[in-house]
Structure 1
Amino acid sequence: MKHIDSPGQLRTSYLDFFAARGHAVIPSASLVPDRDPSVLFTTAGMHPLVPYFLGAEHPAGTRLVDYQKCVRTNDIEEVGDPTHLTFFEMLGNWSLGDYFMLRHPKQPLVAIDTSKDPELVELHSPAFGERDITGIDNDLTRQHHGEPIGERITVSGRLLDRAGRPVRGQLIEIWQANSAGRYAHQREQHDAPLDPNFTGVGRTITDADGGYHFTTVQPGPYPWRNHLNAWRPAHIHFSMFGSAFTQRLVTQMYFPSDPLFPYDPIIQSVTDDAARQRLVATYDHSLSVPEFSMGYHWDIVLDGPDATWLEEGR
């Protein structure tokens, strides 16, 4: 699979994929529905196909694929922020009673060659699933034969909704640089040393109280070439999954009193000071393990006025 650099390439790749598997490519319908008085605008990819779902015969056949222009109306009051757009295109593959089968899929599995670009897998599926989480997945200091280099820390907190209620049974993943500020990633360009005993990824499932717990090492700052003498403050990436990969939320946790905060355009892009402070963990002496690790507490609020800022904004 080639790398996708633009929406147009994504659209073409999607249409070509299903066209090669027996689907007819149909054109996008009008934003103003034709002969459908039930709605003012087309707001979903299936709207123009409703008559065919109800039994009418489509001239292109029973397996279709398209991209449909849509207008967002169901949450129009939120339009204008980075995640709610007035106009969007919806990609869809459709079966008019033709996908059903008795035993198993007939199409072969699609192989993903990650030898040249390990990020290709992210176009299709999450890197981790909820199953087969081991007892050391949340302890990044025990995942190799030796001890990682750096100051050991524990990070604990709760995953909460807007009312402060625990969000139970959710997959939380983290990834981070090592103590020298280098990621164990094929595309990493920082020439700091790698740590053979530290990969920098972990995962856990929130408990009945919405709690999570990780043991890791303090990540180092690193240069990122955004501007002259640009350094990212030490941080840990957090990813939260709901019941599906499409419900993934990603954010970053920072450490208190980092001198790089004033120079970092990412954290400074959060203009609300209270929201910016919610991205910073607090030192919690009760979470420190004697003679082993320093402890930090950080709660994640998924929505509402006190929501944790996400990488795509609020």
Structure 2
Amino acid sequence: MMSEREFFQRDRRVHPPAFTPQYKTSVLRSPRMPLWSLQTSLSEVTGPLFKPEELGPLDNDLLLNYARAGEPIGERTIIHGHVRDEAGQPVPHTLIEIWQANAGGRYRHRNDTYFAPVDPNFGGCGRALTNGEGYYAFRTVKPGAYPFRNQVNSWRPAHIHFSIFGSGFAQRLITQMYFEGDPLIPHDSILQTIPDPTARDRLIARLDLNASVPLDTLAYRFDIVLRGSRQTLFENKREGA
């Protein structure tokens, strides 16, 4: 079925350039030649489609989905918000995947050699589908900061990685979410590769006491905007419709 929705072009002025020497790993992995812009194909503007029955009942609950002998250690946290496109329209039934370090700042990954302990009850991964209004929610623990080998004393702020599929592969977004008030945010060499300060600010989740659970869990709101879509004009609809 031909999609009737067209995606806005990306505004490259607000995205980090591929070559950012202050983030050292970009020096070797960034392209050295200008990128080609290609016409979007049908496979990139349609799908993939996900169904609720493809997800488990605890996939969006990182407090329980890896628990073995009790719940994980850390600040119990709710992350929630809406996924919309640049036209302000909700993006329903799209898959969101998250992964993060535990409360001590360590990932459950064999290549993570940080000496903070691995939490036996925390896997650090989850996924959810947005509902019909583009709303999503996760329950987790707030991740810890950790050092990384960029400069002599570089530390990553607390953050959660997000992957959002959107209504088509052309909308695919992989990003990171930070927490309001984290003093390491101004010192993060990765976040500072984004040239627009207002764009950097949109990656910071805001404390949301209205969504918090008293005596239990703090909440942060993180709204996500994907590439926009728009209905083409009647006269210009594809296939002459």
Measure, in 2, the Cα distance between the counterparts of 1:76 and 1:270: 18
Q: 1:148 to 1:276 in 2, by over 3 A?
A: same
Letter in 1 for 2:130: T
Measure, in 2, the Cα distance between the counterparts of 1:217 and 1:241: 24
Measure, in 2, the Cα distance between the counterparts of 1:256 and 1:78: 25
- State the identity %: 50
| Corresponding residue of 1:183 | 107
| Corresponding residue of 1:107 | none
| Corresponding residue of 2:135 | 211
- For each residue in 1:69-116, what CA deviation from the matched residue of structure 2 results, as whole angstroms up to 9, or x when unmatched? xxxxxx999789858944489xxxxxxxxxxxxxxxxxxxxxxxxxxx
Pick 1 or 2: higher relative contact order, CA cutoff 8 A, min separation 6.
2
Does residue 164 of structure 1 match 2:77? Answer: no
Does residue 132 of structure 1 match 2:54? Answer: yes
Match of 1:196 among 116, 120, 123: 120
Q: 1:209 to 1:250 in 2, by over 3 A?
A: same
- For each residue in 1:258-283, what CA deviation from the matched residue of structure 2 results, as whole angstroms up to 9, or x when unmatched? 11122211111112111111010011
Q: Is the contact between residue 91 and residue 166 of structure 2 (CA under 8 Å) also seen in structure 1?
A: no
Find the residue that maps to 1:275 and give its secondary structure: helix
TM-score (normalizing by structure 2): 0.72
Find the residue that maps to 1:183 and give its secondary structure: coil
| Corresponding residue of 2:148 | 224
Match of 1:289 among 206, 213, 216: 213
Find the residue that maps to 1:265 and give its secondary structure: coil
Measure, in 1, the Cα distance between the counterparts of 2:83 and 2:125: 19
Number of aligned residue pairs: 192
Residue 240 of structure 1: CA displacement?
Answer: 0.5
Measure, in 1, the Cα distance between the counterparts of 2:87 and 2:55: 29
- For each residue in 1:150-182, what CA deviation from the matched residue of structure 2 results, as whole angstroms up to 9, or x when unmatched? 010001000000011100010000000000000
TM-score (normalizing by structure 1): 0.56
**Aligned-residue CA RMSD (Å):** 2.8
Find the residue that maps to 1:202 and give its secondary structure: strand
Q: 1:156 to 1:76 in 2, by over 3 A?
A: closer
- For each residue in 1:5-59, what CA deviation from the matched residue of structure 2 results, as whole angstroms up to 9, or x when unmatched? xxxxxxxxxxxxxxxxxxxxxxxxxxxxxxxxxxxxxxxxxxxxxxxxxxxxxxx
Residue 289 of structure 1: CA displacement?
Answer: 0.8
| Corresponding residue of 2:30 | none
Measure, in 1, the Cα distance between the counterparts of 2:11 and 2:162: 25
Letter in 2 for 1:210: G
| Corresponding residue of 1:303 | 227
Residue 132 of structure 1: CA displacement?
Answer: 2.4
Q: 1:79 to 1:299 in 2, by over 3 A?
A: closer
